[in-house]
């Protein structure tokens, strides 16, 4: 099982949620679901959540220690794999897929022996299709775009870029329905102030175009822009394929 973890924010039942999950196992689900068919959780009520119901800085060390102890217990009893963590509404929930459940209580006893001060619940149920991983932990296309946006912003910031300064931001799209709405889409992009730069083609031979506009690449601004483009392109039979820009310093 590959280890490649991602952390992102989402809205969960109307509340902000911090989601950490192992993205590296996504391509292995069809094999793993037969070996690990049971979803399990350990849920702890936070003692000092922040005003948004998320983990406060003061409580981080204790929760991370709990997370490590659970992982050590999972390895000790060899019953499953840790796949993700959700922090929302004043609680932290650790999620696992289990190979078997006969020693689940032994796992809990070992993991939680030093955390009696927490209010903790736990349980498991069948999930042979890994629906909890696919639909709760794994990001939607829009959430994936935000993850990539923030990585790009972090990379620019690390190079002393002033993210508030407008500059040309280049985007790419590919037509997914034989370009049947191509002209309407290009006209809409021009109406929105974008300039088409060149025609492109991906590795599968799918046609597309690159286009650009002067915008700010700051986190919230680029999120709003790219999510708008995703919706616009999908409505016109095309898919969004990311953005890039140059570094601009103060």
pLDDT, the chain, mean: 94
Are 178 and 202 in the same domain?
yes
Count: domains in the chain: 2
pLDDT of 120 higher than 90: yes
Q: What is the pLDDT of residues 76-100, one digit of tens each?
A: 999 999 999 999 999 999 999 999 9
Are 110 and 15 in the same domain?
yes
Whole-prediction pTM: 0.84
Q: Which domain holds residue 127?
A: 5-137
- H or E stretch including 207? strand 207-215
pLDDT of 1 higher than 80: no
Q: Residue 204 — pLDDT band, cuts 50, 70, 90? A: confident
C-alpha–C-alpha distance, residues 142 and 42, integer Å: 28
Nearest CA to 46 out of 137, 136, 120, 123 is that of 120
Sheet-wide strand order for 167-175 = 195-201, 207-215, 167-175, 238-245
- H or E stretch including 77? helix 60-77
Q: What is the pLDDT of residues 215-237, one digit of tens each?
A: 999 999 999 999 999 999 999 99
Domain boundary among 113, 137, 161: 137
Q: What's the chain's length in residues? A: 250
Contact at 8 Å (CB) between 118 and 63? no
CATH at 191: 3.30.70.970
C-alpha–C-alpha distance, residues 223 and 193, integer Å: 18
Are 68 and 22 in the same domain?
yes
């Amino acid at each position: 099982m590959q280890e490649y973890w991602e952390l992102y924010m989402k809205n969960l039942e109307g509340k902000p949620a911090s989601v950490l999950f192992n993205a590296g196992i996504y391509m292995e689900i069809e094999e793993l679901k037969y070996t690990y068919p049971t979803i399990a959780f350990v849920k702890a009520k936070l003692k000092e959540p922040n005003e948004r119901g998320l983990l406060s800085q003061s409580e981080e060390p204790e929760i991370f220690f709990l997370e490590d102890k659970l992982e050590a217990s999972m390895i000790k009893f060899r019953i499953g794999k840790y796949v993700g963590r959700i922090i929302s509404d004043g609680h932290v929930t650790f999620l696992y897929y289990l190979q078997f459940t006969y020693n689940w209580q032994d796992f809990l006893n070992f993991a939680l022996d030093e955390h009696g001060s927490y209010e903790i619940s736990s349980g498991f149920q069948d999930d042979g299709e890994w629906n909890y991983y696919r639909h709760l932990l794994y990001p939607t296309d829009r959430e994936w775009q935000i993850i990539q946006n923030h990585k790009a912003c972090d990379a620019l910031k690390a190079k002393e870029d002033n993210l508030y300064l407008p500059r040309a931001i280049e985007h790419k799209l590919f037509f997914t329905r034989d370009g049947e709405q191509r002209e309407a889409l290009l006209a809409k992009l021009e109406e929105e102030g974008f300039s088409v730069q060149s025609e492109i083609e991906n590795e599968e031979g799918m046609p597309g175009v690159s286009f650009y506009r002067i915008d700010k690449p700051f986190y919230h601004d680029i999120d709003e822009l790219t999510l708008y483009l995703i919706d616009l392109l999908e409505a016109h039979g095309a898919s969004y394929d990311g953005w890039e820009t140059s570094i601009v310093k103060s």
